Amino acid sequence: METMLVRLKPHDPRRKFVLRRFAYAGILFHEERGWYRVPLEIADYVRGVRQSEFNPYSPPAFDVCTEEEARALEAQEQALASARRVGIDAAPTTLPRRVVTSADVSGESEAEPAAPPPPPQPPAPRTRGGEARR
């Protein structure tokens, strides 16, 4: 009996991969369980299954591969995942900038303390809207 490997495509709503489970011929396919070895007839059926049932333009729901193709696909995904992870691990530490004041610009030393700012002025009294128009 000839078999193929099938799996639900990994969940990614941005790419319209939204199926997490699918049942056919007594087999319940789960996205997180990975590859299933199935007979060729079942593989041919799930090859035509779409992410959205009545939309012929939606992406395919399953990856259907031979064993060699599945290994190559897994290696490619592993390489992409490690490339992303390496980029995060190698990110340099970014330090915040020092606050630049007018004393720094004018050349004054930091030993001379600046004069404290004047106290805030109280707000002007508010008038009623109708009385202000008269």
Place of tokens 């369980």: 33
All residues at 6 or more sequence positions from 59 whose CB lies less than 8 Å from its CB, including other chains: 9, 15, 16, 17, 50, 51
pLDDT, tens digit (0-9, with 9 covering 90-100), for 115-127: 777 888 888 777 6
pLDDT, tens digit (0-9, with 9 covering 90-100), for 91-122: 665 666 777 778 777 766 555 566 777 888 88
pTM given for the model = 0.57
Measured between alpha carbons, how far is 73 from 50 in angstroms, rounded to an integer? 20
Measured between alpha carbons, how far is 7 from 32 in angstroms, rounded to an integer? 9
- Selection from 62, 76, 71, 64 nearest residue 2 by Cα: 64
